[in-house]
Structure 1
Amino acid sequence: MVEHRTPVTARFALGALAVLLVGCGTVEGAAIPGEIDVRSLDVGSYTTAPADIDAGRKPTDGPILEGLRMAGAVVFPHEIDPALTYNWGTDVLDTPRRTSEVSAISNVNLPVLERHRMIVGFDIAEGSQAFDKTKPAIETDARITRVVLLRFPGAATAKEAARDLEATDFGVSPDNRPVPIPGYPAAHAHWRPGIKTIGATFAHGEIVVSMFLQHPSPDIDALAKRVAAVLDAQIPLLDNFTPTAPDQIAELPRDPDDLLRRTLIPGPANQQIAISSREFAPWSGRASLHFRPAEPAELGAAWDRGGVDGVAHSYSTTLFRFRDEAAATAFGTTWQDTLSAAAHPVSAPEGVPQARCAERRAGSAPALTRCYVSYRRYGAFVSGAEPAGVRQQAAAQYALLANSQS
């Protein structure tokens, strides 16, 4: 079955309660004609000085940064099957052990991943129903597609890994049967007759595409065709992706789009923070689509019109780079105009142009306050449980954007 994990996509991350930021206040810069003097804003103890992102380089950064690059090369299951409207998990898999715990990769395959020197993976899963932790997915009639991209050191190694991953998984049950995939004779796939799931692997260059799919009924023809549809969409994306040479992964830029230094971080600007796909990471180009709002439809449309080409995520802050200033402003207007019935506008930070804030309650969970601020072509959400602190975060994020201009 597909195991639920808190995803980093905007469908969940923009609505999740994140930790409040703490730090040392710094308000720099002076107003230029037509702009406010950000030194007048109430930023509390939050820093507004751009961080030296490169100073924080850690040995663990490289593989995660490569995984974030792969995030731009993975297929989005809902683009193949519009019924898959719910995100069930998305993340970088930075070690073989973590990868073996993903249900698209059987946990018996840890030795295979280690033997073939897996470098990093990226995982996405989507379903036709909301995830229900009270029952196994197999007991529902949900359609599920999970795709995991696994990077290996060379095409020959990837080909062997795809074969061995399938062989090990196949051997788990004597009831498993091989399944040919239409149009892909090199694909490895299996199912258990009468069970409505299929597992498959396919090597393409240095990357293995591992798939797990569930259908509403045990229809092997439908399952095999769905695997083929995934590969039809996935392979062109891999053709346009250039893996980083293994000996250069450690040198990948931590802030390739110059966005992380513009994003509010916990504590002072001279902190040395490791890259983490969930907490502190850049999402470049097509990878930024993992933060595209799934609903309401109007907000997703505003995102599309806005031409977002990069995202930076830092704890309870998410920063977007739009096509231009008008697009960044319009996105904030659409967000406020399409608040759900569970949310209502609240006061915005004083003095911050066009800032917008809202409070949302979800069941018994604490209320979440979120503010949106924009400056030139950048827009950002900040979130937290304490409204006054969130307003200070918003003011600090605005000041940081102004201070980051160069």
Structure 2
Amino acid sequence: MVEHRTAVTARLTLGALAVLLVGCGTVQGAATPGEIDVRSLDVGSYTTAPADLEAGRKSTDGPILEGLRMAGAVVFPHEVDPALTHSWGTDVLDTPRRAADTSAISNVNLPVLERHRMIVAFDVAEGSQAFDKAKPAIETDARITRVVLLRFPGAHTAADAARELEATDFRVSPDNQPVPIPGYAAAHAHWRPGIKTIGATFAHGEIVVSLFLQHPSPDIDALATRVAAILDAQTTLLDKFTPTASDRIAELPRDPDDLLRRILIPGPANQQIAISSREFAAWPGRAGLHYRPAEPAELGAAWDRGGVDSVANSYSTTLFRFRDDATALAFGTTWQNTLSAAAHPVAPPLDLPQARCAERRAGTAPALTRCYVSYRRYGAFVSGAEPAGVRQQAAAQYALLANAQ
């Protein structure tokens, strides 16, 4: 199966294993020369009509959509520190409460975030070891970097928030000491001598960069140097990012790359679905890199060769847009050729021989069936616990892509 760089990304990609089916599975259109006649496919009860995205617009969409834009402006920790080969999570944080609950922002800072009207945040964390929820990170010798971008309504507000976030966090322990960051006199940072972690905040325009780093040993010089390296890379990305004006966030397009309307949804095409980063959202441009498979290396290379430029997810379906038809098809072949030892190929849907399907068992958990299907420059994974239903999903996704042209 595809092993994604981040644990949360894996959840985004796999989605729910059971999908409630409602609505009509009408298959439209006729095949063009050389293409499969989608009317012959067994799509079960799945809809194959492109969704009306604007019909589902919700008042909660705007901040999440801005957070997804920020997902393309956040530094990936492994780009700065290649030792960070494992994900420790990534997601849009669409409320101050969710942002305060992350480890890069002490939960004592909720009042600060609320007072300064935090709009949205994006969080990414990576480590040199796999995340183990049964063991506190501080008890390991893992290298960890967590980056949270916090959006505020104005540069002055962001600067005030960065200073107050640090001050509030600093007061948590009487042992905390300030730490200067090389090259960043305006950065706020602290650590506790003898403890191998550091926290830092830095305002850059309307965005506050909040960092949490752990080092294998309590080496303050190494920690401060690592913070500076992250800020070097992060500020370069932010210089290329234009935050959406606060009064225009509600108008952000739900489907900026025309991808989300092409993805399979568990219900009729005219249903109203709120944007949710984990369940129903488009990840435009560089934000799609949060879905790039880290392992096996051959699959990551196939992604790179394919020039994936946008990603969308809908519950148990993930859709990618490749550079061309050939690379979309080749990605599925590479996926099947690099399945883990716990997985084995299974039959694809009838009349859809180019689809690739596999079953994977992990311990005592129910087996998961997954299929990859491509149509022209689009490729999609569908997943579920019921093999026949997954094959119908794959057929329906193919038909939907054909009908969306």
Confirm or deny: 8 A CA contact 1:372 1:394 kept in the other structure: yes
User: In the alignment, which residue of structure 2 is the partner of 1:215?
Assistant: 215
Q: How far does residue 32 in structure 1 lie from its aligned partner after superposition?
A: 1.5
SS at match of 2:174: coil
User: In the alignment, which residue of structure 2 is the partner of 1:181?
Assistant: 181
- Pairing of 1:231-380 with structure 2 (within 5 A): 231-380=231-380
Confirm or deny: 8 A CA contact 2:47 2:268 kept in the other structure: yes
- Pairing of 1:5-404 with structure 2 (within 5 A): 7-10=7-10, 13-14=12-13, 18-24=17-23, 25-404=25-404
CA deviation digits over 1:248-284, x for unaligned, max 9?
Answer: 0000000011111100001111110000000000000
CA deviation digits over 1:344-378, x for unaligned, max 9?
Answer: 00000011141000001111111110000000000
CA deviation digits over 1:205-228, x for unaligned, max 9?
Answer: 000000000001100000000000
Q: How far does residue 17 in structure 1 lie from its aligned partner after superposition?
A: 5.7
SS at match of 1:99: helix
Q: How far does residue 19 in structure 1 lie from its aligned partner after superposition?
A: 3.3
State how far apart, in whole Å, the 2-side matches of 1:401 and 1:349 are. 16
Confirm or deny: 8 A CA contact 1:306 1:331 kept in the other structure: yes
Confirm or deny: 8 A CA contact 1:19 1:315 kept in the other structure: no
CA deviation digits over 1:158-180, x for unaligned, max 9?
Answer: 00000000000000000000000
TM-score by length of 1: 0.97
State how far apart, in whole Å, the 2-side matches of 1:114 and 1:17 are. 32
Confirm or deny: 8 A CA contact 1:20 1:385 kept in the other structure: no
Q: How far does residue 20 in structure 1 lie from its aligned partner after superposition?
A: 2.4
User: In the alignment, which residue of structure 2 is the partner of 1:3?
Assistant: none
CA deviation digits over 1:85-105, x for unaligned, max 9?
Answer: 111110000000111111100
State how far apart, in whole Å, the 1-side matches of 2:316 and 2:375 are. 18
Confirm or deny: 8 A CA contact 1:21 1:265 kept in the other structure: no
State how far apart, in whole Å, the 1-side matches of 2:312 and 2:73 are. 18
CA deviation digits over 1:57-89, x for unaligned, max 9?
Answer: 000000000000000000000111111111111
State how far apart, in whole Å, the 2-side matches of 1:403 and 1:21 are. 23
State how far apart, in whole Å, the 2-side matches of 1:217 and 1:402 are. 55
Confirm or deny: 8 A CA contact 1:17 1:368 kept in the other structure: no
Gap change, CA 1:13 and 1:65, over 3 Å in 2: closer
Gap change, CA 1:13 and 1:253, over 3 Å in 2: closer
- 1:125 aligned partner, one-letter code: A
Confirm or deny: 8 A CA contact 2:15 2:317 kept in the other structure: no
State how far apart, in whole Å, the 1-side matches of 2:373 and 2:14 are. 16
SS at match of 1:294: strand
State how far apart, in whole Å, the 1-side matches of 2:133 and 2:94 are. 25
State how far apart, in whole Å, the 2-side matches of 1:79 and 1:15 are. 25
SS at match of 1:124: strand
- 1:250 aligned partner, one-letter code: A
State how far apart, in whole Å, the 2-side matches of 1:87 and 1:233 are. 19
State how far apart, in whole Å, the 2-side matches of 1:366 and 1:126 are. 28
Q: How far does residue 135 in structure 1 lie from its aligned partner after superposition?
A: 1.3
Gap change, CA 1:251 and 1:17, over 3 Å in 2: closer
Q: How far does residue 18 in structure 1 lie from its aligned partner after superposition?
A: 3.3
Unaligned runs of 5+ in 1: 1-5
Gap change, CA 1:94 and 1:318, over 3 Å in 2: same
Confirm or deny: 8 A CA contact 2:12 2:315 kept in the other structure: no
State how far apart, in whole Å, the 1-side matches of 2:13 and 2:388 are. 19
Number of residue equivalences: 399
Q: How far does residue 8 in structure 1 lie from its aligned partner after superposition?
A: 3.7
Confirm or deny: 8 A CA contact 2:15 2:314 kept in the other structure: no
Unaligned runs of 5+ in 2: 1-5
Q: How far does residue 7 in structure 1 lie from its aligned partner after superposition?
A: 4.2
Of the structure 1 ranges 261-270 and 19-28, higher mean CA displacement relative to structure 2 is found in 19-28
SS at match of 1:29: coil
TM-score by length of 2: 0.97
CA RMSD of aligned residues (A): 1.1
Gap change, CA 1:232 and 1:129, over 3 Å in 2: same
Confirm or deny: 8 A CA contact 2:53 2:261 kept in the other structure: yes
- 1:244 aligned partner, one-letter code: T
Confirm or deny: 8 A CA contact 2:12 2:278 kept in the other structure: no
Q: How far does residue 29 in structure 1 lie from its aligned partner after superposition?
A: 1.1
**Percent identity of equivalent pairs:** 85
State how far apart, in whole Å, the 1-side matches of 2:344 and 2:127 are. 29
State how far apart, in whole Å, the 2-side matches of 1:352 and 1:247 are. 47
Confirm or deny: 8 A CA contact 2:284 2:311 kept in the other structure: yes
State how far apart, in whole Å, the 1-side matches of 2:363 and 2:142 are. 25
